[in-house]
Amino acid sequence: MDAPGRKVRPQAVLFACGRNSVRSPMAAALFKHLFGRTTYVTSAGVRHGELDPFAVAAMEEAGLDIGKHRPMTFEELEDWEGLNFDLIITLAPEAHHKALDLTRTLAADVEYWPTPDPTVLDGNREQRLEGYRAVRDQLMARIKRRFDWRPGGNE
């Protein structure tokens, strides 16, 4: 039985953004890092995208490798494995609208976590990479808070 006030972690979580090339794969990798295999997690996007090298670099700095991630749309995910998720966390407005539309026929909760798109930042490499780091760190903090992460107590 869960302790009073504890948030129950869903069995399957989908992180979604516009192109599944930056924010949602970062969030899925961070979630997997924190919670291992206790919850199934993946990511998808509204449109086709290519994995962003700045996202890969920012995650490598945190010791996580997303370099083999293959961006996938909601439709591709549905064809590949179905959309059997308890929770869909959207990180961009277009993904939120798509998820709400999908939940007309799916029994999934949807949460919107507005997350800046670092691909729109200008500047030199270091300035742009700093924007990706900020998104990574924001996602990490939000995941820890939302899913009640405690060191050594999440299995």
Is residue 3 in a domain? no
Is residue 135 in a domain? yes
Q: What is the domain-level CATH number for residue 46?
A: 3.40.50.2300
For residues 9 and 38, the answer to whether their CB atoms sit within 8 Å is yes
Q: Which residues contact 132 (CB under 8 A, 6 or more apart)?
A: 22, 52, 54, 55, 57, 58, 118
pTM for this predicted structure: 0.91
Residue 4: pLDDT over 80: no
Is residue 19 in a domain? yes
What sign for the dihedral angle of Cα 72, 7, 60, 127? positive
Domain count, the chain: 1
Is residue 82 in a domain? yes
Q: Average pLDDT for residues 71-76, to the nearest whole number?
A: 96
| pLDDT per position as a tens digit, 98-125 | 999 998 888 899 999 999 999 999 999 9
Is residue 6 in a domain? no
For residues 89 and 24, the answer to whether their CB atoms sit within 8 Å is no
Q: Which residue shows structure tokens 């609208």?
A: 97
Average pLDDT of the residues of the chain: 92
Is residue 155 in a domain? no
Is residue 117 in a domain? yes
For residues 55 and 22, the answer to whether their CB atoms sit within 8 Å is yes
Q: Average pLDDT for residues 68-81, to the nearest whole number?
A: 93
Is residue 154 in a domain? no
Structural domain range at position 120: 12-146
Q: In sequence order, what DSSP letters do the residues of 77-122 get, joined into one string? A: HHHHH----SEEEE-SHHHHHHHHHHTTTS--EEEE-----GGG--
